Amino acid sequence: MASDHSFYIATPIFYVNDVPHIGHAYTEVAADVLARWHRQAGDDTWFLTGTDEHGEKILRTAVANNTTPKAWADALVESAWKPLLKTLNLANDDFIRTTDARHEEGVVLFLQKLYDDGYIYLGEFEGYYCVGCEEYKQQNELVPGIGDFEGQLVCAIHSKPVESLKETNYFFRLSEFGDRLLALYESNPNFIQPDSVRNELIHFVRQGLRDLSISRSSFDWGIPIPWDGTHVVYVWFEALLNYVTAIGYGTDQVQFDRRWPAVQIVGKDIARFHAVIWPAMQMAAGIEVSKQVFAHGWLLVGGEKMSKSKLTGIAPSEITDTFGSDAFRYYFMSAIHFGQDGSFSWEDLTARYHSELANGFGNLASRAIAMIGKYFDGLVPAPSGYTEADLAIQRTLAKAAVDADAAMDRLAIHEAIEAIWTVVDDLNGYITVQEPWVLAKSDADRERLGTVLYTVAEGLRALAVLLSPVIPIATAKLWQAIGGTGDVSGQDIRGAGVWGQLTPGSMVTAIEPLFPRIETAPAGE
């Protein structure tokens, strides 16, 4: 079991049948922000992401493109999924592929244990199968087709016909775990969040669970069942195991004990797999269940969930090429309440970029540094005789740091940013009221001017630290400009609200605007 100071966070592994869109990027950035926050808090942090590369959908896509499934996966991983890490400026510790030998080895060990312990048996299954979802569908998950598919049953998600299949498969005894799952949910209400998803899954489990088909014999693109090479492991069952195979399940007990259990960030559409099937698998294997499954909402564009199959996805680079990765990270983490659906629009992105990043934060940094350069030859002045206005800034900062940390612990990233932004807003208001440019006109106000500018500089010091997980590029530039020592990402984030850490006499240097105004409309507008 991991120590109290370990923090293992994982995204779902993404299916490589196509290129990533901003929905995938949203999940990645959220996990990255949380991982960066915990690293700066001194926690033993591990951030895992990766790709899911087996299954019938990959096989069919590869064949349609006149290549092999492995070659198709290799090409997309190298050309699209790994570059996404750089596009978003992610600081992941590991990237797992389900075609990795370490994953396949761990899957075989896990499966064999469940089989030996009597949790897997051979049986027959007949039902409707959606290749797009790689999942058998119940009747209530199907809808009548329209247009070309009129008269057929189609998947409610993909709007494409399902296939009627009858197979002899291996089954996992999921039905035996209903009571244990409900007990888990009751004893640990935070295991599934947000509450809306938790309540939905409790209702689902209470209706009764069916045993899960976990193998396929109609195709061979997958990991062979260790005791029966005529079957491969069902892609969803296998893919869930990446969270433990990546950290040494069955092969490196020291690493596994150090990292596990994990906080798992997933989209709400796959919450059932992660919060019902996956913990049941862990119970069967005799390992501790995940620390938490947090199911965030969908990103909506034009009122619809983005979909690769419906050609409604937006590539992350369409945004970052114009606004930069920091703006991408800030916008999606602040504009959308994490856990709820959120709507994206170019107009909202542009407006928030200019009002909050360029004019709010960026302009605060630029003019503070410029005034220290102009009035104190670039040296941070020493404060003297704090007034109530100065102390109010100190109280705002102290509260913001505590509130932000508490919000991050709840995975409420938007609330953390909102708390930090009170410092930005109060400092901008403070400068307006204190009028340092007026104080600079009188020698009698020299000490007061020094206190005002130290207050602003110290506020920027704290903002650089607190915002580093969200906007790492801009805060690194700011940290260097105000004379910070070391790397801003190495500063204690939980101690950022303690006043007086910026040393008077430190040299500040002029910087280009952290968030320059965007004059050219992005291509998506």
Q: Enumerate the active-site residues.
A: 21, 24, 130, 133, 155, 158, 305, 308
Q: Tell me how far apart the alpha carbons of residues 33 and 386 are, in angstroms, rounded to a whole number.
A: 34
Token code pair at residue 88: 């978003």
* Other C-beta atoms lying within 10 Å of the C-beta of residue 302: 9
Listed in sequence order, the residues at least 6 apart from 192 whose beta carbon sits closer than 8 Å to its beta carbon are: 185, 198, 201, 271, 275, 292, 293, 295
Q: Give me the sheet containing 228-233, strands edge to edge.
A: 215-216, 228-233, 224-225
282: nearest Cα among 15, 46, 1, 52: 1
Listed in sequence order, the residues at least 6 apart from 292 whose beta carbon sits closer than 8 Å to its beta carbon are: 190, 191, 192, 193, 263, 264, 411
Token code pair at residue 500: 């007086």
In three-state form (DSSP H/G/I as H, E/B as E, the rest C), the secondary structure along 506-523 is CECCCCCCCCCCCCCCCC
Strands 14-15 and 135-137: unpaired
Using alpha carbons only, how large is the chain's radius of gyration in Å?
Answer: 26
Listed in sequence order, the residues at least 6 apart from 482 whose beta carbon sits closer than 8 Å to its beta carbon are: 369, 380, 457, 460, 461, 464, 502, 506, 508
Where helices occur in 147-291 by DSSP H, the ranges are: 178-187, 195-206, 235-240, 242-245, 253-259, 271-272, 278-285
Q: Tell me how far apart the alpha carbons of residues 354 and 159 are, in angstroms, rounded to a whole number.
A: 39
Token code pair at residue 102: 């370490």
For residue 304, give the H/E element and its range: strand 304-305
DSSP 322: H
* CB-count burial class (<10 Å; 0-12, 13-18, 19+) for 148: exposed
Q: Tell me how far apart the alpha carbons of residues 356 and 179 are, in angstroms, rounded to a whole number.
A: 48
Q: Tell me how far apart the alpha carbons of residues 92 and 78 are, in angstroms, rounded to a whole number.
A: 16
Strands 153-155 and 228-233: unpaired
SS3 state of residue 207: coil
Q: Tell me how far apart the alpha carbons of residues 450 and 437 are, in angstroms, rounded to a whole number.
A: 12
Amino acid at 377: D
Q: Tell me how far apart the alpha carbons of residues 185 and 473 are, in angstroms, rounded to a whole number.
A: 40
Token code pair at residue 420: 């930090």
Backbone angles phi, psi at 215, to 5 degrees: -140, 160
